Every structure is written in structure tokens, then in C-alpha cells.
Amino acid sequence: MRTLALLAALAVGARALISDHIDQSILVASQNSNKHTSDAEQDRVTSLPGAGDLDFELFAGQVMYITVDEDAERALFYTLAESSSPQPDKDPLVLFLNGGPGCSSIGGGFLSELGPFYPTPEGVSLVKNDYAWNQLANVVFLESPAFVGWSYSNTSEDAVVGDERTAKDTYEFLLRFLTRFPKYQDRPFWLAGESYAGHYLPNLSVEILDGLKNKKHDKDHLNFKGFLLGNPLTVPEIDSRGALRFWYTHGIISEDSYHGALENCDLTKHEPLKLFAEKAGAVADLDEETEEGTRFVRSNRKLSREIFDADHGIGSNGDDDRQKCEAYIIQAMDEMAGINIYDIYADVCLDEDQQINKKQFSISNNISGGGGGGDADGGAFLSFFLKQPPQPRYDPCISNEVEIYMNRPDVQMAFNANSSGHQQPGPWVTCTPRVEYSRKDVLTSMLPVYDQLLGSGLEFLVYSGDIDAIVPIIGTRRWIRKLGLEVEEKWRAWRSATGQVAGWMVKYSEGLTFASVRGAGHMVPYTQAERAFHMFSKWVHGKPL
């Protein structure tokens, strides 16, 4: 990958730039870890509509946005849910990142998975999450890159972005966050995330290690421990093959589709799952005949040709292989019949006519495909599925409760959103079509990055919900095996606090542990909250699963 370039990307001058923002209030606050800086106090959230009294400290930044690039006027929005434990000043700091790329960690992590609340249907109020991670840690949820959620840039070209700048911006955010909240500078610090965070976290980890090595910040002020990473997109070809095998072995697609796709689709160049994803919302039209055939098949073929043409065909036979691959993909999509690919045993939302509710897949809202449009992406692996939030575990027919809640004026005021005078281009959305993410980066293997991280003294937990069909456990176990690590603790079951088997785990050399989470889908803290909470608690406190 481009890791060497990434390592050199931040100049030592970043430290000086940050120091320019340190005022007397920060110096005073640094003398007492229980106090907050004046900048932090401007970000304080005193209440959230529908939440009742808060039993923890909450901050959200737009009154004093954390700017990561003054020239481009690029700034990232965050929410900090401080620990509600009896001793919050002793609890670790965690930065959580959702994937996409282009999806909000506030809409995902904070309001859908591991945050303190869930919105009720129609976004009327909030209900408490009994397994919120901020009961154990101080958790930061970041909307990254720019144009995701309330993060913005006044330079339109910033919408075209890739892994390198995302890592640089997130690192810059982290440094400035620690300046705003200096009491966290010596806390144990963990990264956490899922999905396309399979790129975000390893790249950011390298950036942090480079900063420590080159004294871009005081080592004592960033006590970096490692990361927790769920169902991560890591090696596109391996993950794609794993997905196809998962679908076949779980009886979702036919043997003909499985072998046909494997034999005729070059998974290193473009990805059959892109074709599945782009037409997820068309399943409801399967029976609607037109003069040109079913709307589903017609639109699938058009889209397939566009994507194949963008890649100049595949294999030695060019057009012949392209047409065969396209045919098998369309056939397999028909066989899948619109199930919830994030959690294959969960029901989907049906409308009054017992048809799949097309809003569940809402292609028109998030059609960019991995954050990219046109040449910036052109068909990135899994990209569309990864940008679509899975259905809630408590109600498959909730249409989009997070977006309803986040677009309420009183909620935006409570979050300090839009109070800086920056004009948002449209409504808040969970996953934005504005980000044009580098297709090259999406297709890049992360194994060379792991080679730099393993053995560095950091600890890494990679975990997989075992009923996720979009980045399933099969591919993850396969790319971990390619790292060539020694097994230090053999495969065994691990149990949650209830005494039930929560999954299985294996510990490798050089700091890597892999764990499965039984009965969990793509968003593990959402679909198996108690098991995810127990796993998180054990990991950040240095205890074995």
C-alpha cells in the first residue's frame, strides 16, 4: 500500500500549529484533570430531546469545531460521551469509527449500536441502552471524512478522498481533541470500529505510531494501546470469495451461481457484490413485467455493463467473461430475494402488500457506491452494502428513525450543530452520497499495514459476528491465516456474563487476537449487545475473554 507515504504525511509543524490554539484556560485545566477547557465547555451538551436526565457528561463539537485543515476550512464533527462509571477519570478513552466509507459514527455508533441511547420509531424519543460502552469508557464518535454528517469542508474538492488523507485528518483531529480535553492525554487510548474501519483503524494506528516515533507529540500524552475491529473489510479478493462461500454454504444461493461467479468473475478487479448491492432495492419489482422484461433484470444488466466497461472487461476472453459473470450475479441476486445481508436470520420490513419495503434499502439516498461517483470509485467492493445501515434488532420495520431524530431542529440545537454559521448543503443522513472515496484504496489489501503494526507492542482484537453475510467470518479467518502468526492460545469458546457461549476465540503471537461473536450480524454491538459489551469490557481492562 502507500504506507510509507502515509507515515511521512504529517509534518512536525502540526505540533506547533496545535500549540497556537492553547490558551490560558487550557493551561489552567491541565493542572486539574477534573476540569474542562473553555473550548470544551462551549461544546457541552446539557440535554438531548427525549433522553431525560443525563447521568454522564456529554460534549458535541460544532460551536467550536475541531478544524483539521485551516487552508481548506475542513473540520470534523464529534460527540464525546464521557464515562458514567463511579470513577470516570480513571476509565480509558476510545475513538469509535463506523465505516462506509461515508457513514456517520454518531448515527451508527452513538445512536444505533454502542452509545447510551436508541431512538424510538419515528424519532420521537430516546430509550436507554443498557449495554452502552460509555459505562466503562469515555467514547468519542467522529464523523469522518469531511462531508459525513455535520463534518464539512469549504473546499468542494475535499469530497474526493482516500485512505491517506482520512488517516491524516483523523490523526490531526485526535491531537486537537487532546488539546481541547487535556485530561485524557495520559489515559489508556483505544481505537474501535467496524466494516470499512478495517482500513481506517490500521492506517490510523500507523499514523499514531509514526507520530510517537518522530515526537510529533509527547509519548506520555498519547497512551495508545491498540484497537478493536469488527467484521473488517481487509483484503477485497479474500473477503469477496468468503462472502460468496458464506452465501452458498448457508443455502442462500445455488451451487450453479456460486461456481459460476467464482469461475467467471475476477474478484481482484471488480466485485460481484457491488452488483448485488446496487440492485438491492429493486427486489420489490421482481414481478413487475414491462415491455423490456422485468425492471429488476433490465436495470441490473445496464448497471452491470457500466461497471464491467469501467474495468475494461475481465479475464482473457473479455466480453464473453464479462457477460457470463454478469449473468451469474443477476441469477444469484434473484435467489437471495432481498434478505437482510447484514444479519441473515433477521426478518426484513414488509409493507402492507407483503412486499419488501424499498425504503429499507433506499438506493436513491446512498447510491454513491463506497463513497465514490464516476472515476473516483466506479464499483468498489461491497461499497453500497457497507453504506446501508442494517435493520434494527428490535423492529425490522423502523424506516429510518436515526435520520428522523437527527434532523429535528431541537436535536440539532442540542448537539450544537449548525450554530457556527456554516450552511449545511442538505439534511443530515446516516451515509452520505457526497463523499467520493478512492476505489483504488477500497481495493487495497491491508495486510502490508498489519505487517508494520504486529509486534509493535500494541494489542489488536479482530472480531466477527458469525451471521454477517457482507464481510463474513470465512474471509476474515482466511486473511488472518495469511499473516503467518503462531498460535499462543488455541481455539476455544468464550462466555459472556450470562454464562452462555458468546463465541470462540484464538490468540496469536505479536499481539493479535481473533474472536467470533455467536449470533451477531455485521454490527455486533447492535445485534448482540450483551456479548459485545462483555467482550469490550474484558479487552479494554486487559482481561482474557
φ, ψ of residue 93 in degrees (nearest 5): -105, 135
Q: Is 60 helix (H, G, I), strand (E, B) or coil?
A: strand
* Beta pairing, strands 223-230 & 459-465: parallel
Cα 446 to Cα 117: distance, rounded to the nearest angstrom = 33
Could you tell me the end-to-end alpha-carbon distance of the chain, in angstroms, rounded to an integer?
33
Give the span between the Cα atoms of 484 and 245, in whole angstroms.
23
Residue with cell string 484533570: 33
Distances (CA, A) of 475 to 242, 370, 432, 486: 4, 19, 27, 19
- In the residue annotation, 468 being an active-site residue is answered as yes
Positive or negative, the CA dihedral 515, 520, 523, 524 is: negative
Answer whether 279's CB lies under 8 Å from 296's CB.
yes
Q: How far is CA 440 from CA 48, 171, 406, in A?
A: 40, 22, 32
C-alpha dihedral sign at 163, 167, 170, 176:
negative
Q: Where are the alpha helices (DSSP H) in 368-493?
A: 383-386, 401-406, 409-414, 439-442, 447-453, 473-482
Q: Is 218 a catalytic residue?
A: no
Q: What are phi and psi of 75, to 5 degrees?
A: -140, 145
Whether residue 458 contacts residue 485, with contact meaning beta carbons closer than 8 Å, is answered with: no
3-state secondary structure of 479: helix
How many residues appear in the chain? 545
Distances in Å between the Cα of 234 and the Cα atoms of 111, 197, 242, 422, 521 are 26, 9, 12, 36, 17
Alpha-carbon dihedral sign for residues 327, 331, 336, 338: positive
> What is the maximum alpha-carbon separation in the chain?
75
Cβ atoms of 465 and 522 within 8 Å: the answer is yes
Contacts of 450 (CB under 8 A, 6+ apart): 202, 483
Q: Which of 144, 195, 383, 464 is catalytic?
A: 195
Dist CA 329 CA 352 (whole Å): 30
- What's the rounded Cα separation, in Å, for the pair 390 and 158? 28
303 touches 279 (CB < 8 A): yes
Residue 314's identity, in one-letter code, is: I
Residue tagged active-site, from 321, 468, 516, 534:
468
Q: Supply 427's cell numbers.
A: 439534511
Active site residue 464: no
Specify the pairing of strand 44-45 against strand 58-60: antiparallel
Pick the closest to residue 517 from 480, 465, 479 (CA basis).
Answer: 465
**Phi, psi of 221, deg, nearest 5:** -100, 5
The residues annotated with a catalytic role in the active site are: 195, 468, 522
